[in-house]
Amino acid sequence: MNSNSTPIDLFVSRTFAHGILLTQTSTPAFAVPLVRPNKKSNLDYTPTVDAFGMIDGFMPVEAQGKILTVQDNFSVEIGQEEIFGLIDPDGKPLIGTKKSLQPHVELWIGQVDDIVCQLNMSLFCDFEKVSVAFGKKVFANKVAELRDRDAAARWFASAFTCAPMCREVSKLLYARSRNHEDDVIGDLSPTVQTGRKSVRIDFPDEILDLDEQSQSGLKKRFAEIVSFSELSTGYSFYFGPFARFKSRGRPDYPEDAHSVDSGIEIHKHKRQERRLAELLRVYLHDEWEGSKLLSSYTDSSKYVNKSLSILSNLSESKGRDHSGRVALVASFIPNLTRAAFPQQRGILLIELARVLGKHTIIAAAILHQASKSNQREVIAARSAIQDFISNS
């Protein structure tokens, strides 16, 4: 594991199933699977997986929420198939591989009142025929709600076509980021347009950065997702040309000596999230130097460069006093979090808390993002985020 990866306990390779961490109050629902190094331990971990859905490590979890324990404390080890957590309609916790959970879900999925929940559960279990039936009902309900068939198709495409596609790409990019020193994190958000009974989806160019084998695997999975979407909505789905980001090349630092030094110091940090936090720190410390650095700095990371375009407004908002700059940076925290690669959002919030946590308004914005997220990596990072802010 390299320094860019999610913090994994390198000394843990074998664990035992313990329970689930609830992230919502409704049932049935998905939950975070929890394991422990041994049956007497009180330390909670959650497995991480590679691009092939195999467990490749265990990440500590500072549980903040309700935990339900399971009776079957089966062994969970590196190299095994990914495990998941569920809570059934009666409030019973379930933990296991997708295959082991399928029979449980099949028993009660027809009795669930929420049609969207039925659809999500059926898609998770790969119940193809019932998934299409549920998909048609969900789409019909949205058409009736919006009174606009094209708008309903765009909503369906975003929720049930683009979202699973992004998860597939994310797995591959995340696995590659943990095996290479260079950062590959970027914003995967696609654009969705509708035409005559058709939906066009445009993804950013991270997909083009994947190797041929990865792209081949994606095409097969994408075809399955598109088939389901077309059968559910009656629309034809197409993929437009992928948008390409401009290559920014090597950094051209400003001539000012202080800005040059700041740029060099920032580039010394291996984590892209830390470099971004340091850029914001410079801006808060000195508006003139920070604005000049933000307008000229380029990075090897696509995510940082993408964020710089979001932060370009900082350079344009001249003449603010220190409190005004702090408020402005705080207002950008949600944008930066959304733009981050999902599995890196916990790391992003940790680095922002480490570097900028002394500013009360910014700290509040960071804590808000951490508390509202159901992302496994963010939940695991909450304790570290709180510690950095408390000690700032």
User: Would you say residue 69 has pLDDT above 70?
Assistant: yes
User: Would you say residue 47 has pLDDT above 70?
Assistant: yes
Q: Which band of pLDDT confidence, cut at 50, 70 and 90, is reported for residue 385?
A: very high
How far apart CA 315 and CA 288 sit, in angstroms, is 9
Query: Span 140-154, mean pLDDT?
Result: 95
Angle at 113 between CA 107 and CA 119, to 5 degrees: 70
Strand-by-strand arrangement of the 191-194 sheet: 191-194, 198-202, 236-239
pLDDT at res. 213: 66
How far apart CA 385 and CA 345 sit, in angstroms, is 12
Neighbour-count burial for 77-86, b at 16+ CB within 10 Å, e otherwise: ebeebbbbbb
Q: Which of 120-124, 159-163, 312-316, 330-334 has the highest mean pLDDT?
A: 120-124
pLDDT at res. 298: 73
* DSSP secondary structure letter of residue 88: -
Least trusted range by pLDDT, from 53-67, 116-130, 160-174, 347-361: 160-174
Beta bridge partners, 55, equal 49
Q: Which of 182-191, 204-213, 215-224 has the highest mean pLDDT?
A: 215-224
Least trusted range by pLDDT, from 248-262, 304-318, 368-382: 248-262
Query: Span 104-133, mean pLDDT?
Result: 95
pLDDT at res. 354: 93
Question: How many separate helices (H) and strands (E) can be counted in the chain?
Answer: 15, 11
How far apart CA 344 and CA 3 sit, in angstroms, is 12
The fraction of the chain above a pLDDT of 70, given in percent, is 77
pLDDT at res. 102: 96
How far apart CA 121 and CA 105 sit, in angstroms, is 7
pLDDT at res. 279: 85
pLDDT at res. 188: 64
CB atoms within 10 A of CB 219: 9
Q: Which is higher by pLDDT, 326 or 156?
A: 156
Q: Which is higher by pLDDT, 376 or 20?
A: 20
Query: Span 237-255, mean pLDDT?
Result: 40
Residue with tokens 């979202």: 163
Extract long-range pairs of 34-43: CB within 8 Å, 24+ residues apart: 34/61, 34/63, 34/67, 34/85, 34/95, 35/76, 37/12, 39/73
Q: Which is higher by pLDDT, 287 or 58?
A: 58
Give the alpha-carbon dihedral of 162, 165, 171, 177, to 10 degrees.
-70
User: Would you say residue 17 has pLDDT above 60?
Assistant: yes
User: Would you say residue 307 has pLDDT above 90?
Assistant: no
Cα 213 to its chain centre, rounded Å, is: 23
CB atoms within 10 A of CB 121: 24
